[in-house]
Every structure is written in structure tokens, then in C-alpha cells.
Amino acid sequence: KAGVTQTPRYLIKTRGQQVTLSCSPISGHRSVSWYQQTPGQGLQFLFEYFSETQRNKGNFPGRFSGRQFSNSRSEMNVSTLELGDSALYLCASSLEEGAFNSPLHFGNGTRLTVT
């Protein structure tokens, strides 16, 4: 069974640009969550999507947005990039929403560098 696939693996952008990251969940998984990982802050929850609806949201500004398609694939978008947005962005899928009794399975992430 294929794991969670994230593309691209690496991105370099400049301040002010926008970026779109893609995530394909494990087949059959309907929930997709996005996390930002930085050395000092650990894993910070961005949002969770289930059945094409955002079910949960972390404490990030509106520049961070996402969506989920009918095939459960998900994208996240960051507009007006700032230097502090440089991080590893991780996508995780689970069978059901909320990860209760349905642990998260992570992709290998997209490393975003903002210059």
C-alpha cells in the first residue's frame, strides 16, 4: 500500500511569492492534516480536512489555506511568503477525522525555503 505522498520535496521561494503544496493520502484514508515543523517550535497544526471540508484549524494567519478534493487529495497554499515561513511542511492522513483510534500517517514533507 503506497504511503502518503507529498510534492514537491523541496521548494525555494522569495518573499512575497505564493506557494502550493500537494498531498496524496494513503488509499482509503479520508482525513488529511497539515503541520508545519521548525526546529524550535516542533510540529504545529495547520488544519485538517475531511470529506472536502475543513474540520479543524490551528493558530496560523489567513495566508495559510488549504483544500481537499473529492478523491481526498489535498493542497495547501501560502500566500505572501515571509522568511519565517521557511519550514518542513508535513501532511498526514488517517482513516477518520480527529485521529482518535485512527493514528496519523505522515508523508516525508515538503521543505520550503523562503529567501
Q: Which residues bind another protein (CB under 8 A)?
A: 4, 41-45, 56, 58-59, 90, 92, 97-101, 103-109
CB 83 to another protein: min, Å: 21
For another protein, the closer CB: 4 or 114: 4
Cα 28 to Cα 95: distance, rounded to the nearest angstrom: 7
User: In terms of CB distance, is 17 or 95 closer to another protein?
Assistant: 95
Task: Kindly state the cell numbers that stand for 6.
Answer: 507529498
Give me the least distance between CB of 75 and another protein, in Å please.
17
Residue of 64, 63, 69, 67 whose CA lies nearest to 55: 67
Query: Under DSSP, is residue 96 helix (H, G, I), strand (E, B) or coil?
Result: coil
For another protein, the closer of residues 28 and 42 by Cβ is 42
Q: Please state the closest distance from residue 106 (CB atom) to another protein, in A.
A: 3
Rounded-to-integer distance, Cα 61 and Cα 4, Å: 26
50, 33 in Cβ contact below 8 A?
A: no
